[in-house]
Each structure stands twice: as C-alpha cells, then as structure tokens.
Amino acid sequence: MIVDDDQKMIDLFRSRLGGSHEVTETVDSETALTLAIKHKPDCIILDLSMPGFTGFELCRTLSSLSSTSRIPLVVVSARPSWMYKEFCMNLGAREYFEKPVDFARLREYLSGVTKQQYPERRAQRRAQLGLMLKLRVTEEGGNRQEFLTVSEDVSASGFLCICPAELRPGAIVEVSLTGGGQERRVGLARMVRVDRPGTPARRYGFQFVETPSDWIFNEKKA
C-alpha cells in the first residue's frame, strides 16, 4: 500500500511496482489507517510530509496497534536519512528510502518482504493473551540470563513477547509459565523474527522446537 499526498508520486510507484506487486494507494493518512486495519497489506510505503495526520504519526500508530504492528513500514521521503532515519526506525519503520527513490533496491526489499513466511500466523489458532512467562537465555560463553515478560499473541507452536535481551537470530530460550507463586516449564523455543529491532520496544516471535507441555493449546506443533 502506498501512502503519499502527491498523486504524481503514487503514479510513479504504481508504474514501477505494479508489474510485480498488487498496489493500492491513498493520499490520506486517516484512510490509510483504516485500509491497513481492514486489509493488512504485505507492506506499507509512506511519505513523511502528509497534511493533518503526518507520516510520523501514522508510522507510530501503525507500529503500536496489535492488528498492524507486524506490517513492514517503509518510509520514503525527500528528507535526508542522516537526519530522520533513526527517528523513524524508533517509531517502528523497517526501512528508509530517500527521494529520488532507488526502485531497484526498493523492489529487492519488497521481494524479500513478500517471500517471508510466518507459519505461526497462518493455519493455527491464535489468541491475544497476556501470559506471564520466564525466559532463560544461554549466551555465548555459557552465561545464563532470566527475563520475566508477558506474551501478546500465542498459538499452538509459538508466541510473541517483548524481551529486553538482544537476541541473535535463531537463539534458543527455555520457556516457563509463571503465576500464583508457581513456575511450570513449557519447553524450548527458537527466536524466528524480531519486530522494531534496535529499539527498547523490540518484540520477538518464538516457535517451540519441542512439543510444549502445559501450554494453552492442546494440539501438537505442526
């Protein structure tokens, strides 16, 4: 989905991307928010200089809503990246492109986004539950850390949560349910994705690498 108040820019995006991607567009930020919630596009490309509800505000809102927080946000702006990129990434953007746009690099980025597979979101039942979890992480060198967190989204084979640790791709954690003065081991899980990387609000998606015990769903991991 393209969000830009300049119709010429929208036409340019459609001509350069329409041959390989299904493109929808809007010149209004509030309409963009409604469309994103309703249709959940694979990626949202947005301009910062929007009247009324600015691109900064839209970026922050989309990344904070549970229904749209996983949609990759790409900022495209005439403003220099050295001034605004880090700020936009802290708001939830995944990538920043300066105008004039390098469409070859943008197409490459979009190709990678649309090929990503998140099996824990697809065929399995999911629930937005706040489960108290304890994560134990074994770092390189054998050091172990423990973190208390709360899940935001769970399925039969995984969950999403905030974790203060900087986890490497594929990191394995030991997961336990806590509450009522008790702790019950669930199993081992692997980190499969990160949302809002490099920010204090980063969230990790985990998938169990063994059949979880004492989990909220009784069905086995596919």
Structure tokens at 140: 């390189």
Domain of 169?
A: 121-208
Three-state DSSP at 57 gives helix
Q: Which two tokens stand for residue 127?
A: 């629930």
Domain count, the chain: 2
Are the CB atoms for 140 and 166 separated by under 8 Å?
Answer: no
Considering the domain architecture, whether residues 135 and 89 belong to the same structural domain is answered as: no
pLDDT in tens, 184-218: 899 999 888 887 777 767 788 898 988 888 787 65
Torsion of CA 15, 18, 19, 21, to 10 degrees: 150
CATH number of the domain where residue 151 is located:
2.40.10.220
Domain assignment of residue 143, yes or no: yes
Q: Final residue of a domain: which of 68, 99, 116?
A: 116
Q: Decide which of 124 and 17 is more confident.
A: 17
Give the closest residue to 147 by CA, choosing from 190, 181, 176: 176
Q: Are residues 140 and 64 in the same domain?
A: no
Kindly report, residue by residue over 112-167, the tens digit of the pLDDT: 876 654 444 444 556 667 788 899 987 666 678 888 888 878 888 888 888 777 88
Return d(Cα 222, Cα 209) in angstroms, integer.
Answer: 11
0.75 exceeded by pTM: no
Cα 211 from Cα 16, distance rounded (Å)? 45
Kindly report, residue by residue over 72-105, the tens digit of the pLDDT. 999 999 988 898 998 998 888 989 999 999 999 9
